[in-house]
Structure formats: C-alpha cells, structure tokens
Amino acid sequence: MKLELPRRRTASRTIGCDASLAWHILSDYSAWPEWFPLVTRATQLARETNFALVDVELAPFPGRRVSIECLHAPNARVLAKSLIGQDPDFVLDWTIGLAPSGQTLVTVKCTWVHTPSNFTAAMGALDPEGWLNALATQVSSFAGDLAAGPADPSTILEIYETEDGLVCWYRGNKYEMKAVS
Amino acid sequence: MKEIIRKIEVFSGLDEKLLGKIADTAITCTYSPDEVLIREGEVGIGMYFILRGRVAVFRNLGAGDVRLGEIGPNEFVAEMAIIDEKPRSASVVTMEETECVLFARDTIRHLLERHPSLSMRLVRVMAERLRIAQDRPSAKPGGQVPSAASADVPVADTPAPEDGTGGMKASVEKKLLDIFQMLYTVKAFTRFSVAILGCPVEASGTDALEIIRVGDVKAVVLSASGPAELTIDAYGAGQFQLHVFHPALFADGSPSAVRFDPVDIRPDDRFTLSLPKALLKRHPRIVPEART
C-alpha cells in the first residue's frame, strides 16, 4: 500500500521590482542555489524558449538528484515539477503579477506529495514564505537599494540618482523625487 | 486552465481527475508578433497548442530559410517532442499576437502510457501532419507554401520527388514506422499492435480498431490483448510491403517492427495476417469463371 499525502501551501509577497527581474531570477534555474533555500544544487540540462530540464538537489535530501521539468512564460509564470516517478513528487508554481505602486506580486504554490520516506525531512523545508523572502533579498542584490531600500535597516536616509531622477529612501519608505516647475 | 484543456480535442472526454492533472502542469503564454517559439536545432522538451493567433514554420536548408507553412488556432505545434528526443527540425515564429498552452513532455508522456485512447488521438494528429506534408509541393528557399507544418514535421526531411510518388511513398512509410517505433519506445502504444501496409492493398477485419491512411500507406491498429486477424486485399499490381509491431514480438523488450520481404502482387490477391504470431498467409487466387 502506498501512503501519499498531497499537501498544498501557497504564499504571496509584494516585491519592489518589475516583473521581468523577478521572472529572470525565477527562471534562471542554475542560479537557484544562490538564493532558493530549498535547492542546494542545480544543473540545467536543456533549455528552449519556454521549457527547461534541470537536475536539482534539495536541501532535505542531500546527495539525491531529482530531475525536474520547467515551463516558463516571460514575466508571468514559472512552473517546475519533478518528473513522474521521482521522489519527492512536487510542483512549484510561481505566478508573477502586478502590485500597486509599480511593484510585483509574486505568489508561489507548492504541491508536495508526502510519503513516509520524505515526510520528516520535507516538513521543515516547505516554507513558501521563506522562499519569497529569499527571492526578495535576491531581487535587492540585482536591483540595488532602489528596489528594496538600504541594506542596513538602521539607515535613516539614502538618496540615489537614477536615469529617471532622484530616488530617496527615508525611514523604510521609498520616494521618487520629481522636478517641480 | 481545466476548461481550456477540456476544449482541446485530443483531451476531450478525459475524466476530471486527469484533466486536473494536465491543467496543473500546463501554462498559457502570450507572444507578440515575430517572437521565436522554437529554434531549429534545440532539444525539444515540450509542445504547444495554439489558442489564438498564427505561427510560421521555417527551416534552414543552407541557402536560406524555407517557409514550410503556417499553424493556426486549435492546432498543436511541435507535438513530436512528446515522443522523440531529437533536436527541433524547424523554427517557429509568431506571425501575430499568439496565445498558446504549453505542455511539458513528461506529463503527457506519462498520460500516453496509461491512457491508450490518448495515444490513439495523438497518432491521428501526427498522421494528419504527415498527410498535409505529403500534399505539400517541394519547398524551395524563399518560397512560400500554403500548408501546415510543425517544428518536428517528419516529412519535412524529405521533399517530394518530382518524378513520381514512389519516393514519397517510401518516405511516408518510413516516417510512420518511426512514429510508431517512438510510441512503443515511450510505452505509449503497448496495448496495441500495428500493421503498416505499403500499397497497393486494402486491409479489413473485425479486429481492426482504426485504419490511419497517409496517401497510399495505411497503418492498421489492432488490440494487442488477444489473437487478431486482418484480411489484406490487393487492388492493383505492384509490391506489397508489410511491417508489424506487436509488443509480444519485441526481442528483449526493445520495440522494433517485424519486416516482411516485399511481395509482388496482382489485383485481387488476398492475404491474411494473424497476430500475435505475425503469420502472413497468401490465399490461392480465385480466377473468375469465363462467361460463355
């Protein structure tokens, strides 16, 4: 008898960047280990416009290679699923949408089939909220402080010059400074 | 997504659970005009279904890109990627804003393994593609051909010969053999046996589940679950070619067709093919009595 317990967890978070940056980070599968706590190793085996085949090693299962196939729609969606027959059996579905004030709303839905062999190990690793926080941190390293604010939370004021004008972070809030005629 | 997939003919009639499984692992994507969906030479990992819009299929033949055709709404693109692992044989570029559903290989392949009816439907799509490609005149660089094609269109490998249909017939037969070989390799057709008949013959029999015709070449699909018999009647003079796939005949589990030596035939010759032993029996010719 096969004991399987499918479990779905969903989390959303607004990230201060445009959709294309979030999408590029999510669909750069080889770089997942740099920021994605669930994945410790990733090798992209093949890729074409909307598909990729990737071998990953997951944090709860050191030394175990899991093959996943990924589908990606630019600036909108990244879906990664383990190949059928693999243990663990999971789907990670990232959706990228618009949030107010030009930010990006990222939602991740994780469907994970718990089995006796992976139940304990996986319990602590399935943390969609943590994954989104990690994504936000990674975004900030690409977008610089313009997107996520000063790296040091004790900083009260920082002002940057951008192509579009001055951007000011003051006590955790972002202000775009426009010329007034 | 489930509602979208339900409307795709290949998936129509599947139960809710299955539709849900497919929906969970498919995504939609909208493209602007002139976007590249598929690049020739890349490894094919998935297939597309066009919901709206239009794409053009190109192939580089050295002297420039040849436009093989167009694919529009309610058609699959690159469906061969589901069963083979060869590089894409053509490029696909959007001609207008186009919305597609994307299916990754693993999920569909797994479904084919478990649901023979789905395999049969996919074979029909592939056969239709062969049929259209067969009708297509010889493509020339820079030329425009008003027929359908796919990024993996099998017959695109072989332009139609200008001096007759013999070369094309052999090519179609080989492509059909390739398709079934791949279907057996990925275990998508293990509940069926298939007889591929090179003309000029017709097949009939109560055990035939489906006859797929591509020009003069026919693939007769039979159930592999028990003994089956097929009657084959010649309607012209020529050489009768026969290849048979049956899961019980695969040596060491590796799928390959049993090939019969070509037989010279005349109109009204009759054969019986018995499966699973793949015995071909020629019946004595019945000479009509002369009228007095």
- Structure confidence by residue, pLDDT tens digits, B70-88: 999 999 998 888 888 888 8
Distance CA A139, CA A137 (A): 5
Q: Residue B269's closest CA among B257, B255, B285, B287?
A: B285
Residues of B in contact with A111 (CB under 8 A): 24
Please enumerate in sequence order all residues whose Cβ is within 8 A of that of B239, keeping only pairs 6 or more positions apart, or say none. B198, B262, B263, B264, B265
pTM given for the model: 0.77
Here the ipTM equals 0.75
- Pairing type for strands A173-177 and B258-265 reads unpaired
Give the full edge-to-edge strand order of the sheet including B55-60.
B36-38, B91-94, B55-60, B65-71
**Extents of the domains making up chain A:** 5-148, 149-181
Residues of B in contact with A109 (CB under 8 A): none
Q: In Å, how far is B88's CA from the nearest CA of chain A?
A: 10
Per-residue pLDDT in tens (0 to 9) along chain A, 181 residues: 555 666 788 999 999 888 999 999 999 999 999 999 999 999 999 999 999 999 999 998 899 999 999 999 999 999 999 998 888 889 999 999 998 878 899 999 998 887 777 777 777 788 899 999 999 999 988 765 455 566 666 667 777 776 667 777 776 677 777 777 6
Please enumerate in sequence order all residues whose Cβ is within 8 A of that of B7, keeping only pairs 6 or more positions apart, or say none. none
Q: With contact defined as beta carbons under 8 Å apart, do A35 and A135 qualify?
A: yes
Distance CA A52, CA B183 (A): 22
Give the full edge-to-edge strand order of the sheet including B279-282.
B201-204, B228-234, B270-275, B279-282
Q: How many CB atoms lie within 10 A of CB B88?
A: 23
**Extents of the domains making up chain B:** 2-154, 191-282
Half-sphere exposure of B291 (CA within 13 A, CB side): 0
Distance CA B96, CA B111 (A): 32
Q: With contact defined as beta carbons under 8 Å apart, do B95 and B72 qualify?
A: no
The mean per-residue pLDDT over the stretch B203-219 comes to: 88
Going by pLDDT thresholds of 50, 70 and 90, the confidence category of residue B33 is very high
Q: With contact defined as beta carbons under 8 Å apart, do B59 and B156 qualify?
A: yes
Q: How many CB atoms lie within 10 A of CB B145?
A: 18
- pLDDT at position B163 is 43
Testing the interface with A: which of B4, B21, B27, B28 to mutate, by most A Cβ within 10 A? B27
Distance CA B112, CA B89 (A): 23
DSSP lists the bridge partners of residue B194 as: B221, B245
Q: With contact defined as beta carbons under 8 Å apart, do B40 and B133 qualify?
A: no
In this complex, is the C-beta atom of A52 within 8 Å of any C-beta atom belonging to chain B?
yes
CB interface of A with B, residues 16-35, below 8 Å: none
The DSSP letter of residue B230 is E
Tell me the Ramachandran region of residue A171: left when phi exceeds 0, alpha when psi lies from -120 to 50, beta otherwise: left
Please tell me the total number of residues recorded for chain B in this structure: 292
Cβ contacts from A onto B, under 8 A:
64
User: A94 to chain B: nearest residue by CA?
Assistant: B27
Distance CA B65, CA B277 (A): 47
Please enumerate in sequence order all residues whose Cβ is within 8 A of that of A163, keeping only pairs 6 or more positions apart, or say none. none
- pLDDT at position B30 is 95
Going by pLDDT thresholds of 50, 70 and 90, the confidence category of residue B103 is very high
Residues of B in contact with A74 (CB under 8 A): 29
Distance CA A13, CA A105 (A): 6
Residue type, position B78, single letter:
A
Distance CA B66, CA B149 (A): 12
Residues of B in contact with A71 (CB under 8 A): 25-27, 46, 102, 104
CATH, range B2-154: 2.60.120.10
Distance CA B234, CA A21 (A): 65
- Structure confidence by residue, pLDDT tens digits, B114-163: 888 888 888 888 888 888 777 665 544 444 333 445 666 543 343 444 44
Q: Say yes or no for a CB contact (<8 Å) between B104 and A51.
A: yes
- pLDDT at position A134 is 94
The helix-helix angle for B166-185 and B116-135 (nearest 10°) equals: 160
Q: Say yes or no for a CB contact (<8 Å) between B102 and A50.
A: yes
- pLDDT at position B79 is 86
Q: What is the widest separation between alpha-carbon atoms in chain A?
A: 75
Q: Say yes or no for a CB contact (<8 Å) between B44 and A48.
A: yes
The DSSP letter of residue A60 is T
Distance CA A118, CA A126 (A): 12
Helices (H), B2-160: 2-6, 16-24, 105-114, 116-135
Q: Say yes or no for a CB contact (<8 Å) between B106 and A46.
A: no
- Structure confidence by residue, pLDDT tens digits, A83-128: 988 888 899 999 999 988 788 999 999 988 877 777 777 777 888 9
Q: How many CB atoms lie within 10 A of CB B286?
A: 9
Distance CA B144, CA B142 (A): 7
- pLDDT at position B144 is 39
Q: Say yes or no for a CB contact (<8 Å) between A73 and B29.
A: yes
Testing the interface with A: which of B102, B111, B112 to mutate, by most A Cβ within 10 A? B102
CATH-assigned architecture of domain A5-148:
2-Layer Sandwich (3.30)
Distance CA B221, CA B213 (A): 11
DSSP lists the bridge partners of residue A111 as: A8, A91
Q: Say yes or no for a CB contact (<8 Å) between B46 and A46.
A: no
